[in-house]
Structure 1
Amino acid sequence: MCDTYDVRPRPVTSASGQELEPSSRDPEPPTQDVEPADRGRTSSVSVSPTDDGLWCRRFHPAPDAAHRLVCFPHAGGSASYYLPVSAALSPRADVVALQYPGRQDRRAEPLLDDIGTLADRVHEALRGWDDRPLTFFGHSMGALVAFEVARRFELEGGGPTRLFVSGRRAPSRHRDDNVHLRDDDGIIAEVKSMSGTDDRLLGDEELLRMILPALRGDYRAVETYRCPPNSTVACPVSALVGDSDPKTTVEEAGDWERHTTGAFDLTVLPGGHFYLNDRAADVLKLLGDHIASQSAPQSA
């Protein structure tokens, strides 16, 4: 996976080290979360990612793929976080990464600080993308948004073949979190506690002015979210969690089973809230195996 938080405009690099140019429609380069390991990567070959409108981004379009994976970013995150997922799974799957308002090239747009409203907008944006089977993957806040979008699709008779929820406790499990009410220093302390971003970047006032509004709005959306009683989806749910995640215990992740009438499984991997940065291969294998099972011919 790419870095955790959006902090400044910079070129996006592919898994092979190629530098990806921003789309010509973007008024400025899309930002990418900065990771020390990515610095210094250059290439004489430039590739423009396919930008499908405002919400849906495809870095490696796979128009002939039989399956589509839709990726939902975490709080403060962006579509570019899923660039390595797109690189790894294309062309087996057509990977679509969502871009929420208020970050990167959508930084000038108003934030949507309510999960229900955000899910409504994403659901609307994804209409027309369900011309082939869908799988949803969401990490942290993205898990809640993916769950609510899946519910909306199912009310219309559609929905994903499977919902992967990562690093997020079940919708019915609440904590009295109020990070969104903290001052800027309090939000920065929360980010540091999850080891998601280089401390040197968090000490840069200009960068913080760019990231803090999105972080505060996203935390408000998550912390004020309350799912309707007995909310479920019919599709199978796969929950993933790090064994030392301070935001989600294994038990809290296991309670996702209460929110599906389909099959359920739980995968516990070593690591904290952003376990998937270090365990990307495990996550990609789970996704790849599911996509392969959906694409394989069904026996009579």
Structure 2
Amino acid sequence: MSADLWLRPLGPANPAAVRLLCLPHAGGSATYFRPLARELSATFEVVGVQYPGRQDRRAEPALRTIGELADGVFAACGVPDRPTVLFGHSMGAVIAFEVAQRIERADATHLLGLVCSGRRGPAVPGPDDVHRRSDAGLIQEVRELSGTSAGLLDDEEIVRMILPALRADYGAVETYRMTPGARLGCPVSILTGDADPRVSVPAARAWADVTDGGSRLRVLPGGHFFLDEGRAEVAAAIREGIAEFLDRNRPAAAPAGAPTHP
């Protein structure tokens, strides 16, 4: 499998910078993050994840479980050989959580942390019937979340193109069950919208329960797709979270008077 199928540069290559790997929501694609990448690519090397079953991968069948999606992402990115942050929005946050576990089981040296956006903690139950609804019911859910412009959803040809991947993604995330006791060692930065109709602030805060690395919750203005509504504020929150990850990973300064040699 070619990593190029899964990993799409969203800005200039910068091997000296922290790599920010962005995992999109149900029905989403790597290009969803392009506007946000314009805010961040001066600081980070931003890479989007392209799942099968959409855009230029539309001829491939969409994967139907979070485990399969996480395996695909991990196979593409491998164990990081440079400082790396995983950033997932909505379904992407769950996939990022699973990818982070795979990285930590292999070698966590360069995994700085996880940014979880627009998603309740993985142990918090939620709706599980959207993927079983009619086509019209599934599209109505997307309309209510404002994740795709109304004009696109009114185009029957576009709807026919996106429905298979959208239904598969909803099925994957709605049937996902976290492995009991699963935990991360890396820190987690939690982002959520204050008017998200599907993710309450307490449900978002529950990401803190699955890490031993510490967490911080940031509540931003907006609904489920608050990333679209306040891009500069979201970019600032991501920068701040990654700065905290870097501070955590810096070696502690030696006490005054301590020897500086073995």
TM-score (norm 2): 0.89
Residue pair 1:57, 1:99 contacting (<8 A) in 2 also: yes
CA gap of 1:177–1:90, structure 2 versus 1, over 3 A, is same
Partner residue, 1:254? 205
Residue pair 1:62, 1:91 contacting (<8 A) in 2 also: no
What is the identity, as a one-letter code, of the residue corresponding to 1:228? T
What does 1:211-290 align with in structure 2 at a 5 Å threshold? 211-290=162-241
What is the identity, as a one-letter code, of the residue corresponding to 1:140? S
TM-score (norm 1): 0.78
SS across alignment from 1:201: helix
CA gap of 1:236–1:80, structure 2 versus 1, over 3 A, is same
Aligned-partner Cα distance in 1 for 2:250–2:71: 34
Aligned-partner Cα distance in 2 for 1:150–1:246: 27
Partner residue, 1:101? 52
Partner residue, 2:120? 169
Q: Which of 96, 121, 124 does residue 75 from structure 2 map onto?
A: 124
What is the identity, as a one-letter code, of the residue corresponding to 1:212? L
What does 1:1-300 align with in structure 2 at a 5 Å threshold? 53-127=4-78, 130-158=80-108, 160-292=111-243, 294=246, 300=253
Aligned-partner Cα distance in 2 for 1:202–1:99: 21
Aligned-partner Cα distance in 2 for 1:94–1:56: 12
CA gap of 1:88–1:270, structure 2 versus 1, over 3 A, is closer
Gaps of 5+ in 2: 254-262
Aligned-partner Cα distance in 1 for 2:92–2:106: 21
Partner residue, 2:260? none
The one-character-per-residue Cα deviations of 1:215-242 (angstroms, maximum 9, x if unpaired) are: 1000000100000112111100111111
Aligned-partner Cα distance in 1 for 2:179–2:251: 36
**How far does residue 196 in structure 1 lie from its aligned partner after superposition?**
2.2
Higher percent of residues as helix:
2
The one-character-per-residue Cα deviations of 1:175-202 (angstroms, maximum 9, x if unpaired) are: 2421100110000110111122232321
CA gap of 1:290–1:269, structure 2 versus 1, over 3 A, is closer
Gaps of 5+ in 1: 1-50
SS across alignment from 1:53: helix
Aligned-partner Cα distance in 2 for 1:65–1:90: 12
Aligned-partner Cα distance in 1 for 2:77–2:35: 21
- Number of residue pairs matched? 249
The one-character-per-residue Cα deviations of 1:251-275 (angstroms, maximum 9, x if unpaired) are: 1001111100111111111211111
**How far does residue 211 in structure 1 lie from its aligned partner after superposition?**
0.8
The one-character-per-residue Cα deviations of 1:91-137 (angstroms, maximum 9, x if unpaired) are: 42111110000001000001111001110111111116x22110111
SS across alignment from 1:54: helix
